[in-house]
A and B are shown apart, each in its own frame.
Chain A
């Protein structure tokens, strides 16, 4: 099963390549501008369920503070309850499959910096929303990380190739920066922040995540890039693309079949469910499935969703598949 690389960027009030970000909020209740956030980088789109470009403010006293100023001007997302570890979003979730976290860079501005020498209020991805700080620290904060805590000025070695050219300070709060490289296999990856049950705190951050994922089950629909640009593009938009057909991680075979029925009701195509090892055939019968594909996938079963209404359609699928296969260099025989 092929692996593909995925990138994800999460921006909450600041962005990755900002050379001198100064996003901060005011959590001193004695101040006139309490609850206000400044220099927030706003983005118009949304990051899953949470709007991008907003800082976060935890204030559970809704009687005294029914609405914070940063809520009113859309510069923060307010949480009205305390928690230990807050899951901001799911980076990926592939039930029954694996993704591999390979790298992340996280920079956070927050009320507090590192606690117990690990990142509190730092937006980090974790294999699961583990509410136990040691688990978080053991996984990510041993060995190969770089971090720096608010000894002004702060340098971000990832955003700035020559970091010392672009030091920055923020007007309030601390800066935490973590870069991590390695590999962790997990079916689920979440973006979490550790709040340690603090109330009246704020944080903003930017996180860049790189990971690999199993790009299957597989839809076998060979399309000609030049002659069939529209369906090719449509398919790419829907699934993504792989050298040996078209694939989409995290989807089950039923979903792929449903979409292909809509996109290509008159074409021939096949879907390989690599969980059950079943090859589904549409407008095809096993007669049209080349032996080399059977050797490659080794399906336990083939199921005919619909026999070919027009044998020319099935033949066209087979010809195109053979043509493409001929272009793939033969693999070296294993000893």
Chain B
């Protein structure tokens, strides 16, 4: 498992305009990605992330690399109606 952490936005938990959480990869001080082994039973739900494109999306992005090359992501609560409610809490 690789870990993603919530990035506080201007003191709030979510981005103010979209009301979505902003996430980024957790890194060690040396720059390696932070992760670990956990039991499957700790998984609770599927989550969907959308790369945070910002003002201008990089034209080199494709469906297969957009994930790897993006630094920040929106945790997309609108992905399904079931996780919408817990993620809006």
Q: Report if A and B associate in a common complex.
A: no
